Structure 1
Amino acid sequence: MKFTQALSSAVQQHRNRTSTVHFGRTRTWGETGERVARVAGGLRSIGVNDGDRVAVLAMNSDRYVETFFAVAWANAVVVPLNTRWALAENEYALKDSEANVLLVDASFADQAAFLRQAVPHLTIVYMDDGAEPDGAIHFEALAAGAPIADLSGAYDDLVGIFYTGGTTGFPKGVMLSHRNIVYESVVWIYSLGFTEETVYLHSAALFHLAGTSPMVALTLVGGAHVTLPKFEPEAAMKAIAAHKVNYCLFVPTMLNMMLNHPSFGTYDLSSVKDCEYGASPMPDALLVRIMKELPSWRFHQGYGLTECAALASLLPWRCHALEGPLAEKRKSAGRAAAGVEIRIVDADGRELPRGKVGEIAIRGAGVMLGYWRKPEETARALRNGWLHTGDGAWMDEDGFIYIVDRVKDMIVSGGENVYSGEVENAIYQHGDVRECAVIAVPDETWGEAVHAIVVPKDGREMLPADVIAHCRTLIAGYKCPRSVEIRGEALPLTGSGKIMKAQLREEKWRGHGRAVN
């Protein structure tokens, strides 16, 4: 099955049902299908050819949903860009993917002007209300053109490049095929019970696979997409009440923000039947509180990553027990999702006995084609048919997976992955820095926060604020250190000359119950 067949199915079977709701604008699947075919024709008319890359830098909206399908319908490759990236990061992704079209909304119109100077061949499409900026083409002009037939390619053809954090200081483009995304969407439907009656709130950004996979799954069954530009606690609660949303996906931090918002309790949230959470560790104390505050919600935990099109394991609602034999399972990441194989392996890829900590390896139809133009990194991640995640975990006798740590040098802050090497690469570009190490430190709000330990060059004086300001010119704000420690002595080294990050982490996490090695 191809990516676009999800839309064709929705149009055929649910033409008059609601497809998208964005603020006061509501469309049916019949209308959405017609618009997608017209926008695809518009993309071809402005020079998009088979396999061309079309980038998107925008907040969530109904037009974003249409764009995903229109790009595939035109037999092009969608490249969603992270809305929290710095200008330099978006420029890198555009040049790396060789995108020739960039769709932006009002939030990024100014950035688009700079990006067009850096990437002169870019055509800009404005996908928001109001007049388009000078030199741009309006999305609605594309939607007013003649519709075209579905031109999308074969099942294993590339349909999207999704950039994720890079350990070498540059983002990596995860290549996903029609088969990857559609198969994972079927896993969502089977595991989480999506139907044509599902009214889904898109609070997760659509550039994330946590936004894309349920989007395709919901389209396949003909449910309704309710989009918010971005997550805000009161806006989310207001949308749930106004549109009778019955399915949500939240990062734990989002749930925490809602529970602690002054307006919590003033909106009717009883329409929600199911809520999935994931993307970062869920503190058990927070989960228990949420379950007590929202007793009618059925919670599901999903574990996955961009490289496997999002969902790898699932902890279903029945395992969210506060007492009894299933209570301990609540602390796990669940078991392998339908059609997904998971093993815990050693450094040589051999499966380990139950209870022994190793690396999570995944096999299934959702596993990526590879990293865009990074064959060496692809070879490291894909070995003998298995995706090696770099996440440490152990598995119990019932097949439940307990994650003990993320990739050693990765920080998961508020659901966003931050690679320490990427931040260190930015810090080292400061002329006064001799050496540095970036680690995760505990944070009550975000779970983990980015912390930098910096040793200045001899005779140089640096302030923490200098380091943070420098980083903000090079990388996204959420990747920048929230705290900086200036040290006068050299950082501890291993026998092979590497900085001993485990020792540095241990100093910060002592008493917080986290493995640091």
Structure 2
Amino acid sequence: MSSTTPNNPAQAAAPSVAAQVGALRTQLTSPGAPFELAPVTLKDGSTASAYRNAFRTLPDVLNAGRAHGPMEFLIFGDDRWTFDRFFAAADAAASRLQKQYGLRAGDRVAIAMRNRPEWAVALVAAALLGAVPVPLNSFGLNSELMSNLEDTTPTWLICDSDRFERVGGSLGELKMVPKVVVVDGEGGDVRWSDLIAPGHDGYDAPELLPDDRALILFTSGATSRAKGVESNQRAVCQAIFNIDYISAVAAMSSPEAVGRIMARKLQPTTLSAVPLFHVSGLHAQLLISLRHGRRLVFVHRWDPQSAIETIRKENVTQFNGAPSMVQQLIAQPGFELPENSGNLSGLGFGGAGLHQRLITDVLEKFPGRMSGIGFGLTESNGVCAACSGRLFEEHPAASGALSPIIDIRIAGVNGEALPAGESGEVWLRGVSLMQGYWGQPKATEAVMQDGWFRTGDIGVIDANGVLTIVDRIKDVINRSGEKIAAVEVESCLMQHDALEEAAVFSMPHEVTGEQVVAVVVGKPGAEVSEGALREFVSQRLAAYKVPNLIVVRGQPLPRNPAGKMLKSNLRKLVDELNGTAV
């Protein structure tokens, strides 16, 4: 048989990118490899896989950033910080907090301000002392901020003037009143300028263990009072190292895109619009940039038009944001022109419930880049699945390839493990999981089962270990016994050219038990009607999936600071207004 015969094994189709990623995982995690895995015993006595070469404690991660010295690190308007300037401020604050004011390892330090260099200084100063940073929701009003402070009893509150104005008059109501530092104004117990002034005598670094407490991050609190997620040193360090693993896999599976990035010879620079008080902003942007000598450009508030100006002016190479932010950015006229976004190596966004139109727009307007998605939670320190570059192009609707340090179970209704290809609740177990919700053992027990964390997300894993998130359990609509994924109806609606946003959810119905309800926002100047949208959906989905009610809203849909839709707010609005325009 001729060597040119198609049946020749040498002429067989190249393996899929997902299969290549699976092979890279084996290569990178094998003994002696950079991401070698080793068993570790966790605090509860269980065993988990961990990266052997990861840092042991958060101060170890932070101190690695000192090597970048004179390189530029943080940009906030006209204020520009090198790594040297940053560590001088952090060391001074750590010294005085410890030696003048008695801050000890294990004490909690609340941080409440918008993204700015002082936020990062406060976090690093606290962490270097083994104290526990407690970032608060900077968008929160008095009640939310005060509940966070009440729950975690910090000894210090480091904030900006806006946050101080919101809570300053209420702090005396707390059982433990924290000392206050205001970084950009008057008030408080200690002046920020005095705290970071030169001339200190250093600090005594504590001896920390991997099981010691490192961080408390609050969940988004979309439907209830936010809970403080407590993580130890090991969990945070493993999560940071896992981002390096994801980057290595992406680079090795997308060499052409990486070659183009390297040819530009630019310092990696991220436009940071995601709040630092969330794991996506803290871990994947601030801490990774600090460790690897990258620049972070902070924006005071998100505006897509000014974002393009910043991307051009600062030679931004990466933007990661909520899906709504990415959609708004790429919709800006001229975004795809080389003079505006030519130095962007990629766009990144969360990997759950993305609309197909957003995926299509990114791939069409931004081809051949290292764009990608990821899926993780505060409770897992962001670790679960991710993909970018060619893997994202091959699996654009997926949430990514699984991380080596997390075990995943697609669970049936009784908790049984389901085989590949079947959908069920996503359960996670591994070294990066939280220790629990701070001071809330019952809430912790409610989401943990035999060491597994129940995410509340519905997902499916294919034969190559690629995870796709289908929906949230609470967003599955049961209409006369038929199960409807809200995200499927949302994605269908978002194919309509006149729509800017859409949210789909269930509401009670006398006959069908639950009904499909949609709230939509039209593009500026577009005419949108309920009848036309119902007809549009009926031509594309089964009749039982067509919304019973579609409400056209004249303003953006409500979202929390992480970009997640606040469907509970929409349910209340629809219920109160009985389907009239909102």
- Which of the numbers 569, 573, 582 marks the counterpart of 1:481? 569
Partner of residue 230 from structure 1, selected from 301, 307, 310:
301
Residue 390 of structure 2 corresponds to which residue in structure 1?
318
Matched, 1:122 2:194: no
Count of matched residue pairs: 434
Report SS of the residue matched to 1:91.
helix
Determine whether 1:179 maps to 2:244: no
Partner of 1:492: none
Q: Which moved more, 1:42-51 or 1:61-70?
A: 42-51
Gaps of at least 5 residues in structure 2 are 1-55, 252-261, 477-485, 491-502, 506-513, 524-550, 552-557
**2:441 maps to amino acid:** P
Q: For residues 132-147 of structure 1, what are the structure 2 equivalents within 5 Å?
A: 132-144=185-197, 146=200, 147=202
Correspondence for 2:424: 358
Corresponding residue for residue 501 of structure 1: none
Matching residue within 271, 276, 279 for 1:209: 279
SS at match of 2:417: coil
Q: 3-state DSSP class of the match of 2:310? A: helix
CA contact (8 A) 1:191 1:338 kept: no
Q: What is the CA distance between 1:210 and its match in structure 2?
A: 0.5
Q: Distance in 1 between matches of 2:136 and 2:522?
A: 26
Structure 1 residue 135 displacement after superposition:
3.6
In the other structure, the counterpart of 1:18 is 72
Does structure 1 residue 332 correspond to structure 2 residue 398?
yes
Q: Is 1:275 matched up with 2:347? A: yes
- Gaps (5+ residues) in structure 1? 421-436, 447-463, 465-470, 490-503, 505-517
CA distance in 2, matches of 1:313, 1:484: 35
- Provide the alpha-carbon RMSD of the alignment: 3.5
Q: Contact 1:42–1:142 at 8 Å: present in 2 too?
A: yes
Contact 2:73 2:293 in 1 (8 A): yes
**Worse-matched range after superposition: 258-267 or 383-392:** 258-267
For residues 322 and 565 of structure 2, the distance between their equivalents in structure 1, rounded to whole angstroms, comes to 15
Q: CA deviation at 1:167?
A: 8.4
Tell me which residue corresponds to 1:292. 364
The letter for the 2-side match of 1:126 is V
**1:357 Cα deviation after fit:** 1.6
Structure 1 pair 442–265 and aligned structure 2 pair: CA distance change class (3 A): same
| Alpha-carbon distance change, 106 to 269 in structure 1, aligned in 2, over 3 angstroms | farther
Asked if the contact 1:37/1:150 (under 8 Å) is kept, the reply is: no
Residues 386/140 of structure 1: CA separation in 2 closer, same or farther (3 Å cut): same
Letter in 1 for 2:354: M
Distance 1:408 1:134, change over 3 A: same
CA shift at 1:398, angstroms? 1.8
1:220 paired residue among 266, 291, 294: 291
Relative to the length of structure 2, the TM-score reads: 0.68
> In the alignment, is the contact (CA less than 8 A) between 1:357 and 1:393 conserved in 2?
yes
Q: Deviations over 1:373-428 (max 9, x none)?
A: 11122223233332221111112222222212114169999xxxx9x9xxxxxxxx
Q: Aligned with 2:574: secondary structure? A: strand
What do the CA deviations read for 1:449-505 (whole angstroms, capped 9, x no partner)? xxxxxxxxxxxxxxx9xxxxxx9xxxx99857346234799xxxxxxxxxxxxxx9x
Residues 1:108 and 1:261: Cα distance change in structure 2 (over 3 Å): farther
Determine the C-alpha separation between the residues in 1 that align with 2:469 and 2:326.
Answer: 21
Aligned-partner residue type, residue 244 of structure 1:
N
Give the secondary structure class of the aligned counterpart of 2:396: helix
The 3-state SS of whatever aligns with 1:201 is: strand
1-side partners of 2:86 and 2:76: how far apart? 13
Amino acid at match of 1:247: Q
In the alignment, the residues of structure 2 paired with residue 344 and residue 478 of structure 1 have an alpha-carbon distance, to the nearest angstrom, of: 24
Q: Secondary structure at the match of 1:361?
A: strand
TM-score, with normalisation over the residues of structure 1?
0.76
Percent identity of the aligned residues? 22
> 1:198-254 CA distances to partner (integer Å, 9 max, x unpaired)?
222212100010001112222222222222223221232222212212122111100
| Change in CA separation of 1:90 and 1:445 when aligned onto 2, cut-off 3 Å | farther
* Cα distance change, pair 391–149 in 1 and its aligned pair in 2 (3 A): same
Query: What is the CA-CA distance between 1:264 and the residue it aligns to?
Result: 3.7
State the alpha-carbon separation in 1 of the partners of residues 391 and 237 from structure 2.
Answer: 27
Distance 1:91 1:217 in 2: 30
Range 301-310 or range 50-59, more displaced: 50-59
Query: What is the alpha-carbon distance in structure 1 between the residues aligned to residue 242 and residue 521 of structure 2?
Result: 33
Cα pair distance change 1:30/1:386, threshold 3 Å: same
Aligned letter for 2:418?
Answer: L
Q: 1:176 to 1:438 in 2, by over 3 A?
A: farther
Change (3 A) 1:242 1:486: closer
Shift of 1:91: 0.8
- Which stretch has the larger CA shift, 380-389 or 259-268? 259-268
* Secondary structure of the corresponding residue to residue 386 of structure 2: strand
Tell me the secondary structure at the aligned position of residue 481 of structure 1: helix
Which amino acid is the alignment partner of residue 364 of structure 1? G
CA distance in 1 between partners of 2:89 and 2:516 (Å): 47
Check if 1:30 corresponds to 2:116. Answer: no
Q: Aligned pair 1:84/2:172, yes or no?
A: no
Is the alpha carbon distance of 1:121 and 1:264 closer, same or farther for their aligned partners in structure 2, counting shifts above 3 Å? same
Q: 1:363: Cα distance to partner?
A: 2.1
- Cα distance in 2 for residues equivalent to 1:16 and 1:485: 55
78-87 or 201-210: bigger deviation: 78-87
1:487–1:20: structure 2 CA closer, same or farther, 3 Å change rule? Answer: closer
Q: Name the residue aligned to 2:103.
A: 48
Counterpart in 2 of 1:384?
450
Q: Determine whether 1:61 maps to 2:131.
A: no
C-alpha distance in 2, partners of 1:57/1:283? 32
User: CA separation in 1, counterparts of 2:178 and 2:434?
Assistant: 27
Alpha-carbon deviation of 1:97?
A: 0.5
Task: Tell me how far apart the structure 1 counterparts of residues 574 and 346 of structure 2 sit (CA, whole Å).
Answer: 43
**What is the Cα deviation at residue 168 of structure 1?**
7.9
CA deviations 1:39-85 (Å, max 9, x no partner) are 11232333433322111111111111122111111221111111222
